[in-house]
Amino acid sequence: MNLSSARKTFTLKTLRYYTCATALHQPPNLHHFVQLSIANRSLLLAQQAHARVLTHGLRQDPFTATKLISAYALFGDPSKSKLVFDSVEPKNAYLWNSMISGYVRNCVYNEAYELFIEMCYCNVLPDDYTFATMAKVSGEVGDLGAGKWVHGKSIRAGFVMDTVVANSLMSVYCKCGDFGEGRKVFDEMPERNVGSWNVLMAGYRSTTDHDFDKGLLETAKCMMMSGVKPDGFTVSSLLPLCGGDDSGKLDYGRELHCLYCEVWIGFEFGFGCSSWVLFD
pLDDT, one tens digit per residue, over 21-57 is: 444 455 556 777 777 777 778 788 888 888 888 877 7
Amino acid type, 196 = S
Q: Is residue 89 part of a domain?
A: yes
Supply the pLDDT for residue 163. Answer: 96
Q: Is residue 141 part of a domain?
A: no
Q: Is residue 108 part of a domain?
A: yes
Q: Is residue 23 part of a domain?
A: yes
pTM for this prediction: 0.78
Give residue 271's region: left, alpha or beta (phi > 0; psi -120 to 50): alpha
Expressed as residue numbers, the domain containing 111 is 11-117
Supply the pLDDT for residue 185. Answer: 97
Amino acid type, 199 = V
Q: Is residue 36 part of a domain?
A: yes
Per the document, the length of the chain is 280
Supply the pLDDT for residue 220. Answer: 81
Supply the pLDDT for residue 248. Answer: 58
Q: Is residue 26 part of a domain?
A: yes
Q: Is residue 71 part of a domain?
A: yes
Below-70 pLDDT ranges, the chain: 1-29, 208-213, 242-253, 255-280
Q: What is the DSSP string of 127-188?
A: -HHHHHHHHHHHHHHT-HHHHHHHHHHHHHHT-TTSHHHHHHHHHHHHHTT-HHHHHHHHHT
Supply the pLDDT for residue 6. Answer: 42
Split into its structural domains, the chain has a count of 1
Q: Is residue 58 part of a domain?
A: yes
